[in-house]
Amino acid sequence: MRSLDKQILIAGVTRSPYSGTVKKIKIVGQNDSELIAEITISTETSQTQNTANNDESQIQTSTSSVTNLKPNISLTATRVHDGDTVKAKEGNQEYRIRLACIDAPELKQPLGYKSRDNLLKLISQSNNRISLQIIDTDRYGRKVGLIYSTQGKLLNLQQVESGMAYVYDKYLNNCPQAQLVKQAETIAKQKRSGVWGGNYTPPWEFRHDKTRN
């Protein structure tokens, strides 16, 4: 019996290339020197852990990589209109800012005020101080750009990560952080966060329907 136990132990350790939990051992044959067995191993836990680690790695990459950019204007936020629009100033110069790469729910939509309040919270955590990197100026005269907290976190990205905004695919070609915001949206979808937790209408469709009516 000890010899049999030893052979099973050796088979389980040396013949399996996988890490996991042994679920079943089936003896299929033996001779004078070998015991031949089929071993069933569950790797579900490892796969789940790997998925979680990959998600966490993506979030960390999203948060850390964007700090390599050097925003060029330091401002004080004075008003958060909605989840993707901010007013800020420095001295006598006032800026109306449209967050690049993203599109947040309109205030008249479900989650509209929640998205606005989330952006307001992020800015408040930065003592209302933000840094702006201007990408473009839109037809309304707003500066389209990336805004950062005093800790170097990209708030455009954080809105998407929390499910409080969509990636704005229509203008993604002008987004310096396109890959990162897309990764963040994938994670938000997997977690069913915010706008991904229900059957919500994207804001660009909402605006189109409103204009048509």
Splitting the chain (213 residues) into consecutive groups of 10 residues, what average pLDDT does each group show? 49 42 54 53 44 45 42 90 97 96 97 98 97 94 96 96 97 92 97 96 89 60
**Whether 129 is catalytic:** no
Residues 123 and 80 in one domain: yes
- From the CA atom positions of the chain, what is the Rg in Å? 26
**Whether 192 is catalytic:** no
Q: What is the pTM of this model?
A: 0.67
Q: Domain span at residue 10?
A: 2-42
**Whether 106 is catalytic:** yes
Residues 11 and 68 in one domain: no
pLDDT of residue 11: 45
Residues 13 and 77 in one domain: no
Structural domain tally of the chain? 2
47 part of a folded domain? no
Q: Which of 15, 98, 161, 212 is catalytic?
A: 98
Residues 150 and 180 in one domain: yes
Q: Which of 44, 142, 205, 207 is catalytic?
A: 142
pLDDT of residue 159: 98
